[in-house]
Amino acid sequence: MGILDDKVAVVTGAGRGIGRAEAMCLAAEGAAVIVNDLGCGLGDNVADKEAAEVVVTQIRESGGTAIIDNSDVSSWKEASALVERSFDEFGRLDILVNNAGNLRDRTIAKLTSGEWDEVISVHLRGHAAMLHHAARRWRIASKSGVPVSASVVNTASEVGLFGNPGQVAYAAAKGGIIAMTLTA
């Protein structure tokens, strides 16, 4: 029995790293977890669709409930579908953890427009899209008289406050996430 029994969580970027740890912890406390990971690999961005599958398998083997989702959260449409999937599969969404991200380590002089777009898209639009669709669903429920007690974690970084020489796009995205979180 855990403190999150009967709760449902979506964790984006949950195939490895911080997202994986968050998904495992939520599941260990009893939450059903939708493990979202697009499947982008490390290094040369080689696809690794198995990362989310491994996390789901580990959660299930530990007695938890989890399903895989490979939606691209930087797509407004796919983010909406992911939020709706939580309601379709489990009837609710209680916890949203926006963790999906990437890094293109480049100084401003070497950064390409494509690399800028990739980082800003996943971090900033991905967080905004998921937050928008979840908040919209929670607002509808609340206005119809259904009590809503939901939590959101938006993953930022001190780089968004203090910068880092080789991470101009990452710093801009994380700073944007901080501002969006404070405002939302």
Tell me whether residue 7 is one of the annotated catalytic residues. no
Strand partners, 24: none
Tell me whether residue 80 is one of the annotated catalytic residues. no
How many CA within 13 A on the CB side of residue 87? 11
Identified catalytic residue from 71, 74, 80, 157: 157
Tell me whether residue 121 is one of the annotated catalytic residues. no
Q: What is the C-alpha separation between 5 and 32, in angstroms, rounded? A: 8
Identified catalytic residue from 74, 80, 86, 174: 174
Q: What is the C-alpha separation between 31 and 96, in angstroms, rounded? A: 12
- Reduced DSSP (H G I as helix, E B as strand, rest coil) percent helix, strand, coil of the chain, to 5: 50, 15, 35
Active site residues: 157, 170, 174
